[in-house]
Amino acid sequence: MGSPPAPAPPGRPENADTRLRTGFAVVGLLFFATMGYGTVTTPLWPLYQERDGFGPTMVTVVFSMYAAGTVATLVFAGSLSDRFGRTRILAAAAALGVASVLVFLLWQSVPGLLAARLVQGMGVGLTTSTATAAMVELGHRGAVRRPATSATTATTLANLGGLGAGALLGGMISEWIPGPLTAPFLFFGAALAVAGLALTLVPETAPRAHATGALIAVPHGRARVYFCSGAMGLTAFAVFGTFTALVPVILADVLTAPGRVLSGVLVMLVMGTAAGAQLLLRNARARTLAAAGAVLYPAGWLLTALAVHSSSLALFVVSAVVAGTAAGLLFKAGSVTVDRIADPQRRAGAHSGFFLISYIGMALPVIGLAALGGLIGTVPSVLILGLVLAAVAAAGIAGAGLAGARPPGR
């Protein structure tokens, strides 16, 4: 049996627990829908290439606009909810998502794709840190029975589960419903609109006191641990970014196995194994997660290179499982450490910085892989990138103190 919910504050209304649980579910659904919307285009790139006549390089450019919008928003607005409230910022994020849907549908050209992906990334940037902070705070107020594990588990499912589900749903809807470049966006636009309206049911959890004006809230006296934790997030998102951006290209050009549903399945496999590994080891210490991730991480990149070299779809599936597992463990190790050392009144700002570093990892390696691939080939590029990122992950683990005997904390 689970432990009883956290005791209610004096004078709390009888329906407060229900409102907390409802709010927790609404924020989780908005988080899930936003992240899913971020990957809905993954299986659609071949259709856009055919419609607008561009090659793989432009796919990388369009993808980078999404990352640029996310990173810029995390830098300049990621901590806004510490000052203006979680629900207001989440409502703005949902509005940006709906706006980008309209751009996708109404501006059908390469400039339209660039603009839509930029706005889409801005919505994701506002959502990630804000929703994470809101769900953790709602959990500690009694929305879940075990706040320390249940809240982080829920954010994991919303984040990584959404990323995987978006690609899968995008592939299925575009394959089986008329209007492959319209129907997926209508679906996610409706989901974002409904979730945004449902935010009226979410209680505000941001601290009453005004947070400082810092855009990124680095925990006082813990900068080294904080940024090294970010290095783990960066290496994890490098895997996510590589698969979400390049899976359709690899399937079509290297493995000769095109298919929008298959693209979605592979991305879902990476994200699903990442989330599954975190859930399986949800009670493990951060150093255990980091150690397991560090062992599996270079193996995932090596298997990916071998799969591309041998044009083996089966081996590519195995590489997706191994790489996704490693990325999930490293991401959770970094996220748990950041949450433990974050100042409560600056929680969103702390997570904002962590996601900022992570999304840099999603963008730069993809661009580097595309550039190196044109010079030395895809297989050597994957091996070089994997080696560099494995070294970054190892340095992050050591710098955060997760390689030693003492778990992170204050």
**Residue-wise DSSP of 52-80:** HT--HHHHHHHHHHHHHHHHHHHHHHTTT
Residue 257 lies in a domain: yes
Does position 124 have pLDDT exceeding 90, yes or no? yes
Query: Is 25's pLDDT higher than 50?
Result: yes
CATH of the domain at 150: 1.20.1250.20
Mean pLDDT, residues 224-246: 86
Percent of the chain with pLDDT over 70: 88
What local confidence, expressed as pLDDT, does residue 269 receive? 92
Q: What is the mean pLDDT of residues 254-269?
A: 79
Read off the pTM.
Answer: 0.84
Sign of the torsion angle spanned by Cα atoms 208, 214, 220, 225: positive
The answer to the question of residue 60 being in a domain is yes
Domain range enclosing 271: 16-399
CA distance 350 to 216: 6
- Pair of tokens at residue 127: 């959502």
Do residues 201 and 19 lie in contact, with contact meaning Cβ atoms separated by under 8 Å? yes
Average pLDDT over residues 113-138: 92
pLDDT digits (tens, 9 = 90+) for 162-182: 999 999 999 999 999 999 999
Give pLDDT, residue 405: 38
> If 0-12 CB within 10 Å is exposed, 13-18 middle and 19+ buried, where does residue 1 land?
exposed
Q: What is the longest distance spanned by two Cα atoms in the chain?
A: 67
- At residue 243, what is the residue type? F
Report the Cα 330 to chain-centroid distance in Å.
13
Does residue 373 register a pLDDT over 80? no
Mean pLDDT of 240-257: 71
Which amino acid is located at 218 in the chain? V
What is the overall mean pLDDT for the chain?
84
Q: How far is CA 124 from the centre of its chain?
A: 9
Q: Is the pLDDT of residue 210 over 60?
A: no
Any domain includes 135 = yes
What's residue 363's pLDDT? 77
Instruction: Please give the Cα distance from 134 to 139 (Å, whole number).
Output: 8
Average pLDDT, integer, range 328-351: 83
- Run of H or E including 16: helix 16-39
Residue 5, pLDDT score: 45
Residue 4 in any domain: the answer is: no
pLDDT of residue 6: 47
**pLDDT tens-digit series, residues 376-402:** 887 888 888 888 889 998 988 888 777
Query: At a CB cut-off of 8 Å and minimum separation 6, what does 261 contact?
Result: 43, 168, 171, 172, 175
Please tell me the predicted confidence (pLDDT) of residue 254. 66
Contact 365, 244 (CB under 8 A): no
Residue 6, domain member (yes or no)? no
Does any domain span residue 387? yes
233 pLDDT exceeds 60? yes
Identity at 294, one-letter amino acid code: A
Q: What is the pLDDT of residue 48?
A: 92
Domain assignment present for 5: no
How many whole angstroms separate alpha carbon 288 and alpha carbon 407? 9
Give me the pLDDT at residue 406, please.
Answer: 43
pLDDT at position 45 is 86
Instruction: Report residue 287's pLDDT band, with 50, 70 and 90 as the boundaries.
Output: confident
Q: Which of 32, 28, 130 is nearest to 74 (CA)?
A: 130
Distance between first and last Cα of the chain: 30
pLDDT of residue 2: 43
Over residues 328-343, the mean pLDDT reads 86
Number of domains observed in the structure of the chain: 1
pLDDT of 299: 93
Does residue 95 fall inside a structural domain?
Answer: yes
**What is the average per-residue pLDDT within 235-240?**
91
Q: Token pair of 272, please?
A: 């699903």
Q: How far apart are CA 186 and CA 318, in angstroms?
A: 33
How many residues can be counted in the chain?
410
Q: Tell me the DSSP string of 217-284.
A: -PPTT-HHHHHHHHHHHHHHHHHHHHHHHHHHHIIIIIS----HHHHHHHHHHHHHHHHHHHHHTTTS
Q: What is the pLDDT of residues 57-92, one digit of tens each?
A: 788 888 888 988 998 888 888 778 888 899 999 999
